[in-house]
Amino acid sequence: MKINTKSKKVNKAWLNDHVNDPYVRLAQKEGFRARAAYKLKELDEAFQLIRPGQVVVDLGSAPGAWSQYLRRRFAPKVAGAGGAATGELDGTLIALDILPMEAIDGVQFIQGDFREDGPLNELETALAGRPVDVVVSDMAPNLSGIPSTDAARIVHLVELAVDFSIRHLRPQGALVAKVFHGAAYDPLQALFRQHFRVVKAHKPKSSRDKSAETFLVGIGLKKTGA
């Protein structure tokens, strides 16, 4: 029973940290579904990524905090109850996740696995040939605890996001992807440098100190063969 007791203590400690987290409190106050909204906010402010009128694809969107932030950027002067943006959307937002996501006004949501052809084809159909200005990816695999396996899963998801971006981004477009420090980090940085003119790594202040996550930002596609 010692293991269970320890587990309960760990869970209690995590819950206490979560409840007292300033970004959790701020998210509740401002009507965001998760504190993750502030990670994208910091990335946007650091690199000037999001502007009204754009076409943006949100990969790994559930529970919807990033889509909420994007929605507000596309309707900056209109806010409803709880801070939710309402009214006409100046831009196009398409979100995709393997998990269900509660509807957000103006956001087209596709439920499916980005690793499979069906949901990817549905996403491409939704774009209807329009070039994408920004791809944001908060996708992360279920981790097994086996470093080599987890690194391969992380790399695969980011490779898919990069491949999608190569095929759909405007030449001056941007990709933001969550990665993790570890065996997969250097290969993914190299992948970004291979395909983007500007590559930056950024760990938002709202990302927990204990978390190994960081975000790679690629801006401006390199020409084929460059």
Which CATH number describes the domain made up of 32-221? 3.40.50.150
Query: How much of the chain is in helix, strand and coil states, percent to nearest 5?
Result: 40, 20, 35
d(C-alpha 216, C-alpha 209), whole Å: 17
Residue 10 has pLDDT above 50, yes or no: no
In this prediction, residues 156-175 reach a mean pLDDT of: 96
Strands (E) in 88-184, as ranges, are: 92-97, 107-111, 132-137, 169-180
pLDDT, tens digit, 9 for 90 and up, residues 126-136? 999 999 999 99
The band of 138, judged by pLDDT with boundaries at 50, 70 and 90, is very high
pLDDT, tens digit, 9 for 90 and up, residues 82-125? 445 566 789 999 999 999 999 999 999 999 999 899 999 999 99
220 marked among binding-site residues: no
Residue 189 has pLDDT above 60, yes or no: yes
The domains of the chain are located at: 1-30, 32-221
| Residues designated as active site | 178
Strand 107-111, strand 92-97: pairing: parallel
State how far the alpha carbon of 43 is from the alpha carbons of 37, 49, 54, 113, in Å: 10, 8, 17, 25
Q: What is the pLDDT of residue 208?
A: 77
Query: Considering only CA atoms, which of 158, 169, 157, 206 is closest in space to residue 44?
Result: 206
pTM: 0.87
66 marked among binding-site residues: yes
17 marked among binding-site residues: no
If you average pLDDT over every residue of the chain, what do you get? 87
Query: How many other C-beta atoms can be found within 10 angstroms of the C-beta atom of residue 14?
Result: 10
Helix-helix angle 37-47:65-73, to 10 degrees: 40
Mention every residue, 6+ apart, whose C-beta is less than 8 A from residue 106: 71, 74, 75, 89, 93
